[in-house]
Every structure is written in C-alpha cells, then in structure tokens.
Amino acid sequence: MDTKLLSQALGKLGLGVVLVALLLFLPAGSLHFWNGWLLMAALFIPMLCAGLVMFFKAPALLRRRLNAKERQAEQKGVIAWSGLLFVAAFVLAGLGFRFGWYILPRGACLGFALLFLIGYALFGEVLRENEYLSRTVEVQAGQRVVDTGLYGLVRHPMYAATVLMFLAMPLMLGSVYALLVMLGYLPILAVRIRGEEALLEKELAGYAEYKQKVRYRLIPYIW
C-alpha cells in the first residue's frame, strides 16, 4: 500500500473540506445554512469514494489527478481565474443566506443537487474511459487518442461534465446571483480548451484526425 499517496490524497481532501466550509459558512454567519451542507455532502462524499476506488484500482491515475501544477502561463491564468470564480460564488451564496436575498425553493435546490450528481457520474465515466487524464494540460509518455464512449460524442467530455457540475453548484446553494458569477467559467473554459487542443494537435499523434472525426468540443451539434 502506497501510504504516501493515500496521505497526500486524504490531506488534499481534508483541506478542500475546510476551505469550502470557511467560504460558505463564514459569509453565511451560521451553521444553519443547509444548502452549504447539501453542497459539501454532494461534493465530498463522491470525491472520497472515487479517490478510494482510484487508490486501489488505478493509483497512477490518482497520482496524476493530484498534480495540479500547470506549466503554461496561459493555463496558470485559467486556473487562477477559475479559483476566483469559486471563491466569489461561494461567498456570495453565503451572504445571500445571511441577508435574506432571494433563495431558490428547497425542492429546486435538491433537484439541482441531483443534476450535480449526474455530472459527477459522467465525470467518473470519463475517468474510467481515459487512463491518461490529469488535472494539467500535458501529453504523457505512451499516451494515445481515446475516441470511444463519451469521447465519440464530444472531444472534451470531462469539461462537459464540469460545466454541468459547476453551474449546478450555485443553484444547489439556492443563489441565482452566484450562478451569474459562475457563468464566467464558460469563457475561461473556452480559453483552456483552445490551449489544450493546440498542444494535443502538436504533440499527440492522431489528434488532428480525431478532431475531424469528432467535430464538437462540449455539446453535440452546438459547440
């Protein structure tokens, strides 16, 4: 058993739990912000389960997923702006609870939690299909083009899943205002995809042909 990998994964998970809790409950001024607990359960329980599965079944994939250090300046900027969006959206949702800004009905929030989990399931399927996935834009030794399953529908199914998840998050928190902030993820993601595809077309054999075969990036017949 790779205890170092396990401790690294659990340490990052624990840090994420603490940071998200602070971003939600400090602005809310109360632990009674039930939407915050809903989001944390929907986010971190599947994350723990997926991490344990990768640890025992695909430790190399888990190791790559834990590596978040980008090399390209443009991609570093993408990560930084994405982080700022999350901070702003979570803080805004907490403030909305504290000051009584419009909060979506509980049933709607639960529905968006289900939508978030569907996105999570799609994300897990992408991890199963593509053993080369990492959190950074890079081409790994021995990497090949994956063109089956969800990759036969769109070129970036992982990002498609994250769009579903990230836009469901503020609505799970009940905040339409936070959703307006999170919409900024879409142009940021477009920049990331542009840079990633330029790298893959240059360094990954067969990717240019794959782009001709699968013409849509995120949403079939749209983009």
Q: List the chain domain ranges.
A: 3-213
The reported pLDDT for the residue numbered 96 is: 95
Give the residue among 54, 187, 43, 174 at the shortest CA–CA distance from 119. 43
Number of helical (H) and strand (E) elements in the chain, helices listed first = 9, 0
User: In the structure encoding, which two tokens stand for residue 141, read together?
Assistant: 């030794």
Residue 138 has pLDDT above 60, yes or no: no
Side chain identity at residue 16, one-letter code: G
pLDDT tens per residue, range 87-106: 999 999 999 999 999 889 99
Higher model confidence: residue 208 or residue 184?
Answer: 184
Residue 83, CB-side half-sphere exposure with 13 Å CA sphere: 9
Residue 162 has pLDDT above 80, yes or no: yes
The reported pLDDT for the residue numbered 64 is: 72
Side chain identity at residue 157, one-letter code: P
User: In the structure encoding, which two tokens stand for residue 124, read together?
Assistant: 């897990």
Q: Is 33 exposed, middle or buried (0-12, 13-18, 19+ CB in 10 A)?
A: buried
